[in-house]
A = this chain, B = another copy of it.
Amino acid sequence: MSGSVSPLAPKTFAEIPPLRGVRMATAAAGIKYKGRTDVLMMVFDAPAAVAGVFTTSKCPSAPVDFCKANLGGGTARAVVVNSGNANAFTGRKGRESTAMTAAAAARAVGCGEGEVFLASTGVIGEPLDATKFSGVLDGLAVSAREDFWFEAAKAIMTTDTYPKVATRTARIGDAAVRINGIAKGAGMIAPDMATMLSFVVTDADIPAATLQVLLSEAVKPTFNSVTVDSDTSTSDTLMLFATGAARADGQPPVNGPADPALAEFRTALNDLLKDLALQVVRDGEGARKMVAVTVEGAESAAAAKRIALSIANSPLVKTAVAGEDANWGRVVMAVGKSGEMADRDRLAIWFGDVRVAVDGERDPAYSEDAASAVMKAEDIEIRVEIGLGTGRATVWTCDLTKEYVEINGDYRS
């Protein structure tokens, strides 16, 4: 851990108001870290509708398997999250650990184990001793409070240098609803479910099946469009819960994902997830600069995204950004290696507002000074026009610095 807060951290944190229907509590169980909280419990006193998206890794963690199995039930009463140990690649012991934790949580809140959801983040391959925290869940279920979002975000941090929180409001019919979310993640971040962990709760009344559609759609241009290091975690988990408390305010029932009444909610959810996803990138391990890569004019939106990710994941592009070097030749390289159609002689590239290349060669008006000035900023935009179609995508990444190497050269020890 680097010890200091990312220079890209938000200057102020959003105030996250209480959200009706969910209470939270944290504990310091000493799983790996000393002197900080490392267990989070969320309690839904009435059953909440639940949706989730998870890592596409072929070697998912035990909690990911556990959550996927419970998702079909559609309701949640408790969530238990720990940091410091991912409970991944832990075999039979890992399954025993999730079973023990779920049983303890179910007892604590008085629900079935099928209404419990679990997540773990931290080191892979170390057995997780669930006895360390299953004993505290009874107390947490009692002490859990509605106004505890910031503390909740802190308890799930690993190499994060700041907690990640966001809140939005929307109207469904005449009822005002709220969405609150927390996230953690700083490394092992790449699309195919890019966050490590994120938990989002709304007081809207939305059935689980509709909630799942909304979440699956919203994840693509947000969490699945950010990358720190192209590495995909075994544990990536994003869950969305709807407590339904807004029913009491007269929120009308929702009629499937296409219901026009969801328009504002959909926008707010998308916006909140993007906020959290960008906070994850801004806390990228060792990051000093945030980079938005936009590709336009590709054959399709999917092609644009693959080209954008090829640029955003290129070590040579990322080290050039770290060095404040307007090295657009490496952007050409990354376009070329993406495997997508590109016509070298139609390419144009911008750093910020400065067009550095056009028609397959250096811009005739190229100014090294102007391009270099763009690279000095904390936030950098790279834009590439492919010139073949209308496909467009934006992805976000950070630079690759010596600090990334340092942090990851001895994370375990």
How many A residues have CB within 8 A of the partner chain?
Answer: 73
Asked, given contacts A58-B338, A192-B337, A315-B231, whether A405 binds B401 with beta carbons under 8 Å apart, the answer is yes
Copies, count = 2
- Closest Cβ–Cβ distance, residue A1 to chain B (whole Å): 14
- Tell me, yes or no, whether A254 is within 8 Å of chain B by CB: no
Most buried by B among A56, A229, A405: A405
Q: Are B361 and A89 within 8 A (Cβ)?
A: yes
- Summarize A's interface: helix, strand, loop or mixed: loop
- Closest Cβ–Cβ distance, residue A391 to chain B (whole Å): 15
- Tell me, yes or no, whether A190 is within 8 Å of chain B by CB: yes
- Find chain B residues with CB under 8 A from A339 CB: 56, 58
Q: Are A359 and B91 within 8 A (Cβ)?
A: yes
- Find chain B residues with CB under 8 A from A314 CB: 230-231
Q: Are B316 and A187 within 8 A (Cβ)?
A: yes
Annotate A301-317 by CB proximity to B: 1 below 8 A, 0 otherwise.
00000000000011110
Q: Are B361 and A92 within 8 A (Cβ)?
A: yes
Complex CA gap A87/B273 in Å reads 43
- Tell me, yes or no, whether A59 is within 8 Å of chain B by CB: yes
User: Which residues of A approach B to under 8 Å, CB–CB?
Assistant: 55-60, 86, 88-94, 123-127, 187-188, 190, 192, 229-234, 313-316, 319-320, 322-323, 325, 327-330, 332-342, 344-345, 347, 357, 359-362, 400-402, 404-406, 408-413
- Closest Cβ–Cβ distance, residue A265 to chain B (whole Å): 32
Asked, given contacts A315-B231, A336-B57, A337-B231, whether A327 binds B357 with beta carbons under 8 Å apart, the answer is no
Q: Are A409 and B322 within 8 A (Cβ)?
A: yes
- Closest Cβ–Cβ distance, residue A345 to chain B (whole Å): 6
